[in-house]
Amino acid sequence: MSDSVPLRFAIVGHPNEGKSSVVSTLAEDDTVPVSPFPGETRTCHVYPVIIDGRIIVEFIDTPGFQNPRHTLAWLEGHAESDESAVRAFREAHLALPAYQHECQLLQPIVAGAGVIFVVDGSRPMRRDDLAEMEILRRTGRPRMAVINSKEYGEEYLDEWKTAFRKHFNSVRVFNAHHANYAERMALLETLRSIDQDWQPAMEQVIRAFREDWERRIADTADLIGELLKTSTNHVVLADCGEEGDKESEERLKERFQKELREMERRFHQRIRRLFKHNIFHYEPPAESALQQNLFSERVWKVLGLDRTQLIWAAALAGGTGGAGLDVLFHGISAGVFTASGALLGGLSAYFGGERLARVKASGPRLMGLDLSRRLGRTQLKIGPMHNLQFFFVLLDRALIFFSHVINWAHGRREDLPDDEAGKKTEGYTAGWTNNQRRSATRYFEALKHLDDVENLERVLKEFQEILRQVLAVMSVAKRP
């Protein structure tokens, strides 16, 4: 592959089989028009994959075959049996509306593109399919078949695979609605073997894809570090008329929570953009912990760490140690923490998110809410949220969102009832190793002392390395 001529693959097949969806998922491009009605794609359209300003590979969306049996009959009746017959066919039929699609889809192929033939493997094979395969074989171009099953069930898969072996250099199951990074890479690996001459160029393509993904992971780790920093250190202030001004307190608590939610929303936006989900905005399913309020009791129970893990994380990080419970649970109403007998009670007493905001404005510093007199005025202050569980809850939510985004194939255009990845209700950090949790907690501790820049940078670097490893493992994990 020279710098000026990238590899090109034409995605071809019967109408409505999912060709455009496959292009969209492979090129990570959600601008590709997809529709439930056959005949959506009428002309060829090139979708380049651009990395570092360079076109790495191009996928060409094409219209579905219109008249495959007649086309094949013409080719069979032609004196030549190779690619020159295909060229001659195009020239002879360019002006005929009944063969418009064939002329379109064969154009990039005769111009040198490789072929990716897409079929819906959940339906039986028909004579048209055999004609299409034979036409493609006669082009002589390197070609692979992709089985994009729209429905579940493997009834017809063997039949398809047998036919494919005769007509294609390789076959791969690839689902346009589900394929994630690992499956895209597996497909590219298969493309590497469809033609020996293309192998070095395909290797470059694969390397570029891999490096690009590593960069996105590093950027995600940076964004998570930034979210944790700004959220845990966020502070809101308000003047209030007099002590015990409940209305001001409520307003301030609302503002505090709203601003934190907004930070999370902006983080989501950046992650979506990083992973090229530019047009469609998909919400995780209702079951997801992301759909719950960040400050809801349920979220604080199911995400983050349990009590023992929190104490250990803090102790291992050389921070507050097991004794400093009030520091660990800073931000949760002191009233709730002591009066409810939280030490004996369940997690809800410890981590009750709603209670976190239920702060009494009667002391100088009641867990997250400060009252102070300045220039004769009473000032309310909420934050910073130096609460270890809050930190881990935020971290878990960031990881869940990452998983949601990377498992949402670009070819998908609607909510899926079987979106198991998005339904994830538990967090990740409870399953982390001590070492990983210690690194996170060190970062948490360093965030309390922003002026110690050197320490903060050192600890952040170590934490980002852990995050990159975690995100890389999540990228290749099998879908639930």
Binding partner selected for residue 338 from ligand GTP, Mg ion, none, CB under the kind-specific 5 to 8 Å limit: none
Q: Which long-range contacts (CB under 8 A, 24 or more apart) does 311-314 make?
A: 312/434, 312/437, 313/388, 313/434, 313/437, 313/438, 313/440, 313/441, 314/388, 314/441
As measured in angstroms, the least distance from the Cβ of 38 to Mg ion is 9
User: Which of residues 18 and 225 has its CB atom nearest to ligand GTP in the complex?
Assistant: 18
Q: How many CA atoms lie within 13 A of 221 on its CB side?
A: 22
Q: Which strands form 143-147's sheet, in the order they lie side by side?
A: 45-51, 54-61, 7-13, 114-119, 143-147, 170-173
Binding partner selected for residue 148 from ligand GTP, Mg ion, none, CB under the kind-specific 5 to 8 Å limit: ligand GTP
Binding partner selected for residue 142 from Mg ion, ligand GTP, none, CB under the kind-specific 5 to 8 Å limit: none
The count of residues interacting with ligand GTP (CB under 6 A) is 22
User: Which of residues 44 and 406 has its CB atom nearest to Mg ion in the complex?
Assistant: 44
As measured in angstroms, the least distance from the Cβ of 104 to Mg ion is 12
Amino acid of residue 57: V
Q: Is cis: bond before 384, omega within 30 of 0?
A: yes
Footprint (CB under 5 A) of Mg ion, residues 28-67: 40-41
As measured in angstroms, the least distance from the Cβ of 62 to ligand GTP is 8
User: Which of residues 179 and 336 has its CB atom nearest to Mg ion in the complex?
Assistant: 179
Amino acid of residue 348: S
Element holding 164 (H helix, E strand): helix 157-167
Determine if 34 is a binding residue for ligand GTP (CB under 6 A): yes
**Stretches 174-182, 219-227, 270-278, 391-399: which one binds ligand GTP (CB under 6 A)?**
174-182
Binding partner selected for residue 17 from ligand GTP, Mg ion, none, CB under the kind-specific 5 to 8 Å limit: ligand GTP
Token reading at 209: 């894809």
**DSSP code at position 377:** E
**Stretches 19-27, 67-75, 205-213, 297-305: which one binds Mg ion (CB under 5 A)?**
19-27
The count of residues interacting with Mg ion (CB under 5 A) is 4
Determine if 148 is a binding residue for ligand GTP (CB under 6 A): yes
As measured in angstroms, the least distance from the Cβ of 405 to ligand GTP is 19
Place of tokens 């360093």: 446
Residues 236, 242, 244, 250, CA torsion sign: negative
SS3 for 373?
strand
Determine if 41 is a binding residue for ligand GTP (CB under 6 A): yes
- CA–chain centroid gap for 118, Å, is 24
Token reading at 286: 């209702």
Q: How many CA atoms lie within 13 A of 309 on its CB side?
A: 18
| Contact residues for 103 (Cβ-Cβ < 8 A; gap 6+) | 90, 93, 94
User: Which of residues 13 and 319 has its CB atom nearest to Mg ion in the complex?
Assistant: 13
Binding mask 384-423 for ligand GTP (x = CB under 6 A): -----------------------------x----------
Determine if 35 is a binding residue for ligand GTP (CB under 6 A): yes
Token reading at 440: 């996170």
Place of tokens 């689902």: 175
Element holding 26 (H helix, E strand): helix 19-26
For 82-125, give the DSSP string. SHHHHHHHHHHHTT-GGGHHHHHHHHHHHTT-EEEEEE-TTS--
Token reading at 355: 């209670």
Place of tokens 């418009």: 100
Place of tokens 């895209």: 184
**Stretches 34-42, 77-85, 312-320, 466-474: which one binds ligand GTP (CB under 6 A)?**
34-42
User: Which of residues 10 and 317 has its CB atom nearest to ligand GTP in the complex?
Assistant: 10
Determine if 177 is a binding residue for ligand GTP (CB under 6 A): yes
**Interface pick for Mg ion out of 13, 20, 164, 356 (rule CB under 5 A):** 20
As measured in angstroms, the least distance from the Cβ of 39 to ligand GTP is 5
Footprint (CB under 6 A) of ligand GTP, residues 3-32: 15-21
Determine if 36 is a binding residue for ligand GTP (CB under 6 A): yes
Binding mask 113-142 for ligand GTP (x = CB under 6 A): ------------------------------
As measured in angstroms, the least distance from the Cβ of 108 to Mg ion is 14
User: Which of residues 34 and 144 has its CB atom nearest to ligand GTP in the complex?
Assistant: 34
**Interface pick for ligand GTP out of 56, 176, 332, 385 (rule CB under 6 A):** 176
Tell me which residues touch Mg ion (CB under 5 A). Answer: 19-20, 40-41
Tell me which residues touch ligand GTP (CB under 6 A). Answer: 15-21, 34-36, 38-41, 63-64, 148, 150, 175-177, 413
